[in-house]
Amino acid sequence: MTEADRELMQRYIYQVTRRLAKDQREETARELEELITDMAEQKGMEEALKELGDPAVFAQKYREEPGWVIGPEYAEDYRWLLKIVLAAVALSVVVSGVVQGALQRDGAGILTEAVSSAVTGALSAVGAVTVLFMILERRKIRVDFRKEFRMAEANGAERRKWVPMLLPPVPDSKAEIKRSDEAVNLIFEALLAGLMIFAPWLFGAYAFENGTFIRTIPIFNLERWNIILPVLLISLAAGFADDVVRLVCGCYCRTVLIICLISGAVQAVFAWILLKGLPFFNPSFVQELRQEFDWQGTKGDLLTLYGTGRLETIVLLVIWACILIETGVTVYKTVRYAEKG
């Protein structure tokens, strides 16, 4: 077997095993290597891989359950992400319900609100994730086709069946994106969005008298929340889409870089709108703190900057710095480790 044939075989094996559970990958890789080697000795490597077919479809043979929710190439990521988002929505409803129950002690009303929020959040999550993956699949964002294939389509040629030359190279290990990192990001973003939708008043200072909850002093401007929330959700959605694309692609590449740049720009602009263009924070927060707790503040306390505009500037600069760092890391790893050509 030539080095070129062996590389092509490894590309195919990688594209199959990356779609399987970790405990299946090693054994499946060995089985596939033996199978492909035997077939290649009789028919040649390209013909052997053509006979096996698209690795996304072939991988389904090793799965314990069918995965055709969206399509064979995207099904496992779709289901995996949907579970994460639904879990985050459920967690946000539970957290808000528990806090409200502990503070308000109105069990019947809270249960009704929690059920309503859970149903609404679950339907929204399923719809959002499904639409997102439909777009990814229609645009073929995951698949990096060869130039010849793209040129054939541009010339109006009929879409060819899968061929081994469409296999992308096995990525450098340093270019791989950890799925666990993206899972944490997605859970945090979905949980934050759920809390911002269902219980934004939870973010604030809690006032008690003789152990009994009196009220919350919200840190956000809830009187203008109908204007603030859509802007905030768009910013969160941009970060969510960026993490989904990283999850789907699995490694740093041109697609991840482009989406990262777009997402970063959207988040930077909408952060400015939230903190500089809208009354994001409750303008009477510090005043209410002083009245409720007789709080006067100390020199250097960030809350003493509340209402001066400087606190918003500091928060905005921190957000922009985080965006620049993430973008810089993505640019570096894409240029340094991603596939060339």
153 has a pLDDT exceeding 50? no
Which residue do the tokens 């190439």 mark? 73
Question: Three-state SS for 308?
Answer: coil
68 has a pLDDT exceeding 60? no
Higher pLDDT, 336 or 339: 336
**Banded pLDDT at 67 (limits 50, 70, 90):** very low
pLDDT in tens, 240-292: 888 888 877 778 888 889 999 999 999 999 999 999 988 888 888 878 877 77
Question: What is the pLDDT averaged over residues 125-147?
Answer: 57
The letter for the amino acid at 261 is L
Task: Give first-to-last CA distance, the chain, whole Å.
Answer: 26
**Banded pLDDT at 144 (limits 50, 70, 90):** very low
pLDDT recorded at residue 148: 38
Which residue do the tokens 């997102």 mark? 132
Q: How far apart, in whole angstroms, are the C-alpha atoms of residue 334 and residue 175?
A: 7
Higher pLDDT, 94 or 227: 227
Higher pLDDT, 298 or 308: 308
pLDDT recorded at residue 151: 41
- Enter the tokens of residue 117: 């929020």
83 has a pLDDT exceeding 60? yes
305 has a pLDDT exceeding 70? no
pLDDT recorded at residue 94: 65
Higher pLDDT, 268 or 52: 268
3-state secondary structure 37-86: HHHHHHHCHHHHHHHHCCHHHHHHHHCCCCCCCCCCCCHHHHHHHHHHHH
User: DSSP letters of 173-211?
Assistant: GGGBPPHHHHHHHHHHHHHHHHHHHH-GGGSEEEEEETT
Question: What is the pLDDT averaged over residues 24-47?
Answer: 87
pLDDT recorded at residue 331: 92
CB 303 within 8 A of CB 286: yes
Q: How far apart, in whole angstroms, are the C-alpha atoms of residue 5 and residue 296?
A: 74
Q: How far apart, in whole angstroms, are the C-alpha atoms of residue 244 and residue 28?
A: 27
**Banded pLDDT at 69 (limits 50, 70, 90):** very low
Burial of 76 (0-12, 13-18, 19+ CB in 10 A): buried
145 has a pLDDT exceeding 50? no
**Banded pLDDT at 197 (limits 50, 70, 90):** confident
Q: How far is CA 278 from the centre of its chain?
A: 26
8 closest CA partner among 33, 30, 42, 41: 33
CB atoms within 10 A of CB 174: 11
**CA angle 160-161-163, nearest 5°?**
105
Question: What is the pLDDT averaged over residues 5-14?
Answer: 88
Q: How far apart, in whole angstroms, are the C-alpha atoms of residue 3 and residue 10?
A: 10
71 has a pLDDT exceeding 60? yes
Whole-model pTM?
0.57
44 has a pLDDT exceeding 50? yes
Q: How far is CA 269 from the centre of its chain?
A: 19
**Banded pLDDT at 26 (limits 50, 70, 90):** confident
Mean pLDDT in the chain?
75
